[in-house]
């Protein structure tokens, strides 16, 4: 009988995609049965968005991968319009997990439960049912290391981290600049801070940690996690299993721009996509558009209606928003860039564009899924972080990993100007620095392929855990 495990992602595509792809890998490459548990809501349902529906369609499911929808949560009863994104996610998740014990018992008490970083309440249920619980890290190892150390910072630092005069020295890792700190870690007196602290303080309770990374990508933070005395005292066994990325997408609307890509020279097209929830302000949208035009480079730009409210404005309705670019892009932009650029409303087949030989650069929000997809296809990045840990990721990718460049933002300004946008675009697409970044990212692409292959480090990591589960079955 095949070992049976369950997998539980939190809300949002950034959590759903890697855990879903990891579940498929467990079934197809390691001979497991997997129950994929899905948090659902009665209103404002992220799990029923167009993007999620495409990902979870039956044609994507191996025979031993089964979808299990948790009882729906009434969002209107547990959230309100004042809640910020992390508080909203955590509140919905906590309410949903009230049913977890009965669901796990109904599906036959699996031999292990794998959860992502924002579902740590599941550890309590697993302990009660004597089910080993593992965390799947949907962020870089470097951010995981900072988060574990954040518990110590909360205990030892007086006041807010945002007021610290110097960068934070995470043991064995690169310093974290205060300006790069994620919003949830900056101010103590906020619900976002409290939820972040709640979950990161519980990661040590896991029976093991899966990193969506590989040995050659994050050598320094992996060494710190494994060898530094601070981390050795608080970290469960760790396993590098990445890159776990989306392998394919089905999008009938992609035919037109994919045909356009087919007609372009190799490495000549800049791909612009700011993640499943990312949005720009109206002023930044204008500068962005004219910066692309000024660069004189070919591009595919996935656009969403600008908003002044939040840079994560489409997190809960990705793929569902009504979007007419001609209504908000600068007057004359579409005419001036006709034939040179393609504008795609809301959503695109990102993997298909990144793997296309005509794609030569990627303006990315530096979410970890998009980062891994870019590296896995050998595409250098221009870092455009928007929310969550993305500023921290962007600095690591530019300064430590060497696969991205960051636009310069003038002191006191919130908007990157068109001239600077054009400069970094040309740098990556044409300049010598772009050649060096491209060399580095292709080198990492090769190591990623090797890590995932039979006898590779990531493949063998999964094998070791699966062998631990098999006697229990």
**Is 400 an annotated catalytic residue?**
no
E strands present in 275-406:
298-303, 341-345, 359-364, 381-383, 404-405
Look-up of token digits 């969403």: 304
The region that residue 402 occupies, defined by phi over 0 for left and psi between -120 and 50 for alpha, beta otherwise, is left
CA atoms within 13 A on the CB side of 371: 31
Beta bridge partners of 4: 33
DSSP codes of every residue in 322-359: ---GGGTSPTTHHHHTBTTEEEEES---HHHHHHSTTE
Contacts of 207 (CB under 8 A, 6+ apart): 112, 132, 133, 134, 236, 237
What angle is formed at CA 78 by the lines to CA 77 and CA 80, rounded to 5 degrees? 90
Distance CA 454, CA 463 (A): 10
| Residue among 116, 180, 183, 207 flagged as catalytic | 116
Distance CA 75, CA 96 (A): 10
Closest among 280, 381, 365 to 329, alpha carbons compared: 280
**Is 15 an annotated catalytic residue?**
yes
Quick one: tokens of 182?
């994620």
| Residue among 15, 30, 356, 377 flagged as catalytic | 15
Annotate 237-273 with b (16+ C-beta within 10 A) or e (fewer).
ebbbbbbbbbeebeeeebeebbebbeebeebbbbbbb
Closest among 351, 384, 388 to 139, alpha carbons compared: 388
Quick one: tokens of 273?
């996509």
Quick one: tokens of 460?
């063998």
Beta bridge partners of 362: 271, 381
Q: How far is CA 128 from the centre of its chain?
A: 31
Q: What are phi and psi of 444, to 5 degrees?
A: -70, -35
3-state secondary structure of 373: helix
Distance CA 265, CA 90 (A): 45
Quick one: tokens of 464?
């070791």
- Catalytic residue IDs: 15, 116
């Amino acid at each position: 009988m095949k070992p049976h495990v369950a997998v539980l992602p939190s809300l949002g595509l950034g959590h759903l995609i890697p855990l879903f792809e990891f579940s498929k890998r467990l079934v197809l490459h390691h001979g497991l049965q997997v129950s994929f548990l899905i948090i659902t809501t009665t209103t404002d349902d992220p799990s029923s968005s167009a993007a999620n529906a495409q990902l979870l369609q039956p044609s994507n499911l191996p025979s031993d991968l089964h979808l299990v929808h948790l009882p729906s949560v009434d969002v209107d009863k547990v959230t309100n319009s004042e809640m910020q994104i992390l508080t909203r996610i955590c509140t919905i998740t906590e309410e949903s997990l009230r049913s977890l014990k009965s669901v796990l018992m109904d599906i036959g008490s699996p031999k292990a439960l794998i959860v992502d970083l924002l579902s740590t309440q599941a550890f309590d249920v697993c302990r009660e049912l004597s089910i080993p619980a593992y965390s799947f890290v949907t962020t870089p190892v470097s951010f995981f290391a900072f988060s574990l150390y954040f518990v110590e910072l909360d205990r030892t630092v007086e006041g807010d981290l945002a007021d610290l005069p110097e960068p934070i020295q995470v043991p064995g890792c690169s310093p974290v600049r205060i300006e790069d700190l994620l919003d949830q870690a900056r101010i103590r007196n906020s619900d976002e801070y409290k939820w972040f602290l709640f979950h990161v303080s519980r990661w040590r309770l896991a029976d093991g940690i899966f990193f969506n990374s590989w040995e050659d990508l994050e050598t320094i933070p992996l060494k710190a996690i494994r060898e530094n005395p601070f981390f050795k005292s608080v970290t469960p066994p760790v396993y590098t299993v990445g890159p776990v990325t989306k392998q394919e997408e089905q999008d009938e609307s992609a035919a037109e721009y994919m045909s356009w890509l087919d007609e372009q020279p190799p490495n000549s097209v800049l791909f612009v996509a700011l993640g499943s929830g990312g949005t720009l302000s109206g002023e930044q949208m204008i500068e962005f558009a004219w910066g692309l035009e000024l660069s004189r480079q070919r591009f595919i730009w996935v656009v969403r209606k600008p908003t002044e409210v939040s840079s994560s404005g489409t997190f809960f309705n990705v793929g569902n928003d009504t979007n007419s670019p001609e209504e908000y892009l600068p007057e004359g932009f579409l005419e001036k860039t006709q034939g040179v650029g393609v504008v795609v409303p809301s959503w695109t087949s990102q993997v298909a564009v990144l793997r296309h030989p005509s794609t030569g650069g990627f303006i990315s929000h530096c979410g970890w899924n998009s980062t891994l997809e870019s590296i896995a296809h050998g595409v250098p990045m221009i870092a455009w972080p928007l929310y969550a840990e993305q500023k921290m990721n962007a600095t690591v990718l530019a300064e430590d990993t060497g696969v991205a460049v960051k636009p310069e933002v003038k002191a006191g300004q919130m908007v990157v100007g068109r001239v600077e946008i054009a400069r970094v675009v040309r740098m990556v697409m044409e300049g010598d620095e772009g050649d060096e970044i491209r060399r580095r990212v292709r080198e990492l692409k090769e190591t990623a392929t090797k890590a995932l292959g039979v006898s590779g480090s990531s493949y063998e990591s999964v094998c070791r855990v699966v062998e631990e589960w098999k006697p229990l079955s």
